[in-house]
Structure formats: structure tokens, C-alpha cells
Amino acid sequence: MGLVDKGRMPAPLTKLFNMSRSYSLWVYQWGLACCAIEMGAAFGSPRYDVMRLGVIPLPASPRQADFVCVSGTVTDKMAPAVKRLWEQMPEPKYAISMGSCANCGGPYWDSYSVTKGVDQIIPIDVYVPGCPPRPEALLEGVVLLQQRIKNEDMQAKWKGDEFTTLQATREAERGQLSAGEPTGQTTHDISTDPQPIPERDRPEPIVVGGGPIE
């Protein structure tokens, strides 16, 4: 994967790799409280059959996982363990926050021992609101995450940099060319871009249903 690290991936090959990754995701389940029941129904029940989406549950360890689903109340005592397991996951990695407790603390948000959302510990790509959300809502979050993976900039993601979309990267490259820079670069390359991509071009975390994070 040296081409990815150097930012020399041709755009068609980038699309192919992104699509392949989006349909071969090992999910690591962090069920911390009640919402874990609904998560188990989505990932373990034949009624929903999550493997038809290209998502495989129950990896051997975090080191084999592509994304994690955190469901339930994250306490201050549990927070260091959650962060340590997240750091063991290899890049590129993603996270889904499922349920009100994982999103913002839920009904226990004012407790002295509860973390006010798992996003204070790890970066979250998709929020699934509800108390608890239905398994269908979690599956929708998985599909939305797959759509994001298909359009992301592989170089930035694999290096662990802040997430940028492939579309935003191309717009930045076109802006450079219009400013009179050399046109010899024909492959997807942002390693020489001296200007960071504006914040407005960086996608916000996805919220299933489009409502508030709660």
C-alpha cells in the first residue's frame, strides 16, 4: 500500500479500494449497557442479517477490527479502557455511537461518574440517536458509514490525518491548477498541498435521521 501512503493512487483505483473496504468491515462491539441488547439484535440476529451488508461481527480482537460500535453508558472509570482499545485498532478505523447514553450521557448526563458522550474520548463518525434506538436505525448508520468510506481520501485516512473527502481534495487540486501551478500531476496527490482544506469542506459526523444528537 505504498501508493496510498505517498498519495499516488489513481482516482479509479481509489474508488475501487474504497468500495471494497466499505463492503468488508469487521465490527467490534462495545456493549456497555441497555443499548447493547438492540446492538446484539442487529449484529447477531438472523432477522437483520448484517452480513448481507458486508459487515462481519465478532472479530478476534480490536487489532482485527475496522470499526467499533459503542452502545450504552460510558463511565469515567470505563473511559481509559475504551480509549486504549480504540488505539489498538489499525488505521483506517471508524466509530459509531449508538444510543443517548453513548451520544451525550443520556438520562445520566449529570452524574458525577458518567462521561458526557463517548466523543470526548474517541472521534465519532456516525451518531445513532434513541433510547434505545431500534436495530434498523443502527443498520442505517452502518449504511451511511459505508457511503462515507466510498468517498473518502484514502491518503489522509490511512495516515490518521483529519478526515477529508476525495471530492474536497479534487476541488483543492483544481484550485491550485487554476492559480497557475504545473499540470504534470495526473494522479490523486495532496502531499504537496501547502494549504489545508477549509473547515467547511470537512464533513460533519453523520446523525441517523438528521435530528439532534441525543
| Residue list for the binding site | 34-35, 101, 131
Dihedral (CA of 33, 63, 125, 161) sign: positive
Binding-site residues for [4Fe-4S] cluster, in ranges, read 34-35, 101, 131
Q: What is the largest CA-CA distance in the chain?
A: 58
Which residue type is seen at 169?
Answer: T
Edge-to-edge strand order for the sheet containing 67-71? 55-57, 25-31, 67-71, 94-98, 126-128, 206-207
* Whole-number Å distance between alpha carbons of 78 and 74: 6
Can you read off the three cell numbers belonging to residue 84?
486504549
Dihedral (CA of 160, 165, 168, 172) sign: positive
DSSP string, 34-54: THHHHHHHHHH-TTT-GGGGT
